Structure 1
Amino acid sequence: MKRAGTVKITVTAFCVAINIVGAYLALILRLPIYLDSVGTILNAAVLGPVYGMITACLSSVFSGITSDVYALYFMPDGMITGLIAGLLFRTKWFQKWRLPFGVLFLAVPGTIISSCIAAYLFGGVTSSGSSMLVQVLHHIGLNMVVSVFVVQMLTDYADRLVSVVIARTVQSHLGSRFTALLKGKKPNGAL
């Protein structure tokens, strides 16, 4: 196997681990954000949309088997996040004043998918800390689907914003030799 292929597999495995640890921390701390897409967005930024989608799938399977069965059901949300993040990182949507709009473009498709999953499959109650907010909105008179969508939009946006900022920071600190290696070029000197 070429060295670039080995590095891509290693980076993907590292990003899967970031997702799993982030999701586990959010789960045990009952945070209103998920932290399960930091690795997905980072891998999409560094290696592209396909690798972002692969990271989301592997993370969902591993988390679903080991700690949170709900993660399996939300795999489509992670995949669309990886795809869109990879495409948006190729543009300028995550730079300067465009960042809030880029995050919005990233969050909305996944929010639609995850809201439908949470509302129709689970009645708005999942393992995340945001389920409490859904129940509050539902008890004050909002429809369950609307309650889930409002809460998902707020929490997904915050989660994606944190994830994109972390991914941009890490990406900006990658060395030119490492970046050249990922592109299949021969780096000058040792990593």
Structure 2
Amino acid sequence: MKTKSMWSFRLSTAALVLIPIAIGINYIGKTIAAGLKLPLWLDSLGTILSSMLAGPIVGGLSGIINNIIYGITLDPVSTVYAITSGVIGIVVGALAYKGWVNNFAKALLLGLVVGAIAATVSTPLNMIFWEGQTGNVWGDALYAYILSQNGPIWLASFLDSIVVDLPDKLISVLLCFFIFKGLPKNVKRLYQNNQRFEEL
């Protein structure tokens, strides 16, 4: 048996299989949220869970590939945010590896950190491609209000992102935390670093 780094691209068979499963979860979550016009994205559940299980590389790949597929098939806007999804996967995977999913309090903090990072990464993308808006009806309403009060566009754009990203990522991380904690130990062992791996 070999031991691999958290940042290794040498992935176990179980980790490789997890990527399309995570993409499917993301895809379904985002489709449901969009269809119901929820004030959430729900497009990171698979990314976050796969990051907790298999680390930042698997989580990052899951997020990036998901956004590309969703962008090609349903919503071209999503392709741009492959960057944000990749960062979410990397951050969750790295912090989970460091013990941030050991208990509820740490998972709560992880959700807040991920939400803040997602909004920070997405804001310049929103400003470059969509005049600062997110496309979420709730966030864009706040964006319009801030501008109507002569607020700066960067602040309106950031608040547009944070008002959706913070609760979305917090809820997503906590849901995945409970799923992760509820998984049988033999399932978690499939993704431990001492498993045999294959070259990606």
Q: Give the corresponding residue for 2:36.
A: 29
Deviations 1:57-101 (A, max 9, x none): 110111000111111111111111100000111234343333443
One of 175, 180, 187 as aligned partner of 2:189: 180
Higher relative contact order (CA 8 A, sep 6+): 2
When residues 21 and 33 of structure 1 are mapped into structure 2, their CA distance, relative to the original with a 3 A threshold, is same
Alignment of 1:90-129 (within 5 A): 90-94=97-101, 95-129=103-137
Percent identity at matched positions? 21
Alignment of 1:36-47 (within 5 A): 36-47=43-54
Deviations 1:22-51 (A, max 9, x none): 111222222221111111111100100000
For the aligned residue pairs, the C-alpha RMSD in angstroms reads 2.0
Look up the equivalent residue of 1:156 and give its one-letter code.
D
Q: Give the corresponding residue for 1:189.
A: none
Deviations 1:148-168 (A, max 9, x none): 111312321111111111111
Look up the equivalent residue of 1:51 and give its one-letter code.
V
Instruction: Report if aligned partners of 2:112, 2:166 keep a CA contact under 8 Å in 1.
Output: yes
Deviations 1:95-140 (A, max 9, x none): 3333443223222222111011112321123432322332222223
What is the TM-score normalised by the length of structure 1? 0.86
Instruction: Report if aligned partners of 1:68, 1:127 keep a CA contact under 8 Å in 2.
Output: no
Instruction: After the TM superposition, list the runs of 4 or more consecutive aligned residues in structure 1 that deviate by more than 6 angstroms.
Output: none
Distance (whole Å) between structure 2 residues aligned to residue 145 and residue 68 of structure 1? 24
Alignment of 1:1-191 (within 5 A): 5-94=12-101, 95-129=103-137, 130-183=139-192
Instruction: Report if aligned partners of 2:70, 2:76 keep a CA contact under 8 Å in 1.
Output: yes
**Following TM superposition, by how much is the alpha carbon of 1:181 offset from its aligned partner in structure 2, in angstroms?**
2.6
Structure 1: gaps of 5 or more residues: 187-191
**Following TM superposition, by how much is the alpha carbon of 1:18 offset from its aligned partner in structure 2, in angstroms?**
0.8
Structure 2: gaps of 5 or more residues: 1-10
Distance (whole Å) between structure 2 residues aligned to residue 84 and residue 147 of structure 1? 25
Look up the equivalent residue of 1:103 and give its one-letter code.
G
**Following TM superposition, by how much is the alpha carbon of 1:7 offset from its aligned partner in structure 2, in angstroms?**
2.6
Instruction: Report if aligned partners of 2:44, 2:169 keep a CA contact under 8 Å in 1.
Output: yes
Tell me the matched-pair count.
Answer: 183
Instruction: Report if aligned partners of 2:58, 2:89 keep a CA contact under 8 Å in 1.
Output: yes
When residues 97 and 172 of structure 1 are mapped into structure 2, their CA distance, relative to the original with a 3 A threshold, is closer
Distance (whole Å) between structure 2 residues aligned to residue 185 and residue 69 of structure 1? 38
SS of the counterpart of 1:86? helix
Moved more, 152-161 or 23-32: 23-32
Instruction: Report if aligned partners of 1:42, 1:171 keep a CA contact under 8 Å in 2.
Output: yes
